[in-house]
Amino acid sequence: MTEAKLLLATTNRGKLEELRLLLAGIPFELVGPADLGLNLEVEENGGTYSANARLKATAFARAGGMLTLADDSGLEVDALGGAPGVMSSRWAGPHATDRQRIDFLLSKIKDVPMKNRQAHFCCTMVIASPRGGLRMCSGSCAGLIGMAPRGEHGFGYDPVFYFPNLGKTMAELPPDIKNRISHRAKAAARAKKILAGLLQNNL
What are the residues whose beta carbons fall under 8 Å from the beta carbon of 24, sequence distance 6 or more? none
Q: How far apart are CA 154 and CA 174, in angstroms?
A: 9
Q: How far apart are CA 90 and CA 170, in angstroms?
A: 21
Whether 72 is catalytic is yes
Rg (CA), the chain: 17
Q: Which helix (H) or strand (E) holds 63?
A: helix 49-64
Find the farthest-apart pair of alpha carbons in the chain and give their distance in angstroms, rounded: 59
Q: Which helix (H) or strand (E) holds 72?
A: strand 68-77
**Side chain identity at residue 129, one-letter code:** S
Looking at the DSSP assignment, which residues form a beta bridge with residue 12? none
Identify the active-site residue in 35, 72, 78, 111.
72
> Is omega for the bond preceding 174 within 30 degrees of 0, making it cis?
no
Q: Which of 124, 107, 114, 113 is nearest to 50 (CA)?
A: 124
Residues classed as catalytic: 72
